[in-house]
Amino acid sequence: MRKTIHHTTLLLLCAGAMLLASCSKTQPQPQSTPAPIAFQPDAATAGTITGRVEFAGKKPPRKTVAMESDPQCAKLHSSAVADEVLAVNSNGTLANVFVYIKQGLEDKKFASPADPVVIDQKGCWFGPRVLGVQVGQTLKVTNSDPVTHNIHPLAQVNREWNQSQEPGAEALTRKFSQPEVMIRVKCNIHGWMHAWVGVVAHPYFAVTGADGTFQLRNVPPGNYTIETWQEELGRQEQQITLAPSGKSELIFKYKGE
């Protein structure tokens, strides 16, 4: 009887071992997904897109920003501060216009720059008012004022966040995971403080300055839709075909009242 039990036990152990061995052979092994290779433009064929943003019509008077509600902010300025909602340059162009490639790069993956984009709070004012950042790139927020500020990006696609920053505090750093053009930024403490952030998935964006011009360099040849955005006058688009090593120049025209 004991021999029969012992023999049965051995058979069961052998069957179990064979079953485990069979399972281990058929068990699928997890495979890591390789990271997508970042696109690198060919310097021999890359081109340039340049242009300017013009303003037609009567130049509107710039409104004075009232900072009297916070005497500390008012003391930081020796003269009145003009709003920058519609900044018309002396040559009839517009500053603070965000320009970027809207379509034409969907099949390409770009690495995020290591250097951060900085927005400062100085004179109870966001500077710059309009800026661009690439997906995954660090946005660095600093406070150069002797007063507490608050930065509140009202993102719709990305995660909304709201952070106060005291004088002398360390810089805040955040990243955006999805393209979003544009994100309005406000200060909950000082209602006149506003900025705009354009988040794109590639490095081909610019903000017009005091001469109203823009330049997108090292662009691979292809068919593109270029979009401009102005916070009061809206958006415009133009389609272009950039030849290998080509140069395209665009003129966008906005009209006032």
Q: How confident is the model at residue 17 (pLDDT cuts 50, 70, 90)?
A: low
Asked whether the predicted pLDDT for residue 11 surpasses 80, the reply is: no
pLDDT of residue 32: 61
Task: Give the DSSP H/E element, type plus range, for residue 9.
Answer: helix 2-26
Sheet of strand 213-219, all strands in order from the earlier edge strand to the far edge: 213-219, 47-56, 247-255
pLDDT, averaged across the chain: 90
Distances (CA, A) of 163 to 123, 172, 187, 214: 19, 9, 9, 32
Domains and CATH numbers, the chain: 47-255 (2.60.40.420)
Sheet of strand 222-230, all strands in order from the earlier edge strand to the far edge: 205-207, 98-103, 222-230, 234-242
- The three-state secondary structure class of 102 is strand
Asked whether the predicted pLDDT for residue 235 surpasses 70, the reply is: yes
Asked whether the predicted pLDDT for residue 250 surpasses 90, the reply is: yes
Which residue in 166, 214, 155, 156 sits closest to 189, CA to CA? 166
Asked whether the predicted pLDDT for residue 15 surpasses 80, the reply is: no
Give the span between the Cα atoms of 163 and 161, in whole angstroms. 7
Over the stretch 137-158, which tens digit does the pLDDT of each residue have?
999 999 999 999 999 999 999 9
Q: Give residues with Cβ within 8 angstroms of 86, minimum separation 6.
A: 60, 62, 94, 230, 232, 233, 256
Over the stretch 168-210, which tens digit does the pLDDT of each residue have?
999 999 999 999 999 999 999 999 999 999 999 999 999 999 9
Asked whether the predicted pLDDT for residue 94 surpasses 50, the reply is: yes
| Number of CB atoms found within 10 A of residue 212's CB | 23
DSSP letters spanning 203-255: S-EEE--TT-EEEEEEEPSEEEEEEEEETTTEEEEEEEEE-TT-EEEEEEEEE
pLDDT of residue 33: 62
Beta-ladder partners of 230 = 234
What is the percentage of the chain residues whose pLDDT exceeds 90? 79
Contact 152, 186 (CB under 8 A): yes
Contact 77, 123 (CB under 8 A): yes
Asked whether the predicted pLDDT for residue 2 surpasses 50, the reply is: no
Q: How confident is the model at residue 23 (pLDDT cuts 50, 70, 90)?
A: very low
pLDDT of residue 25: 52
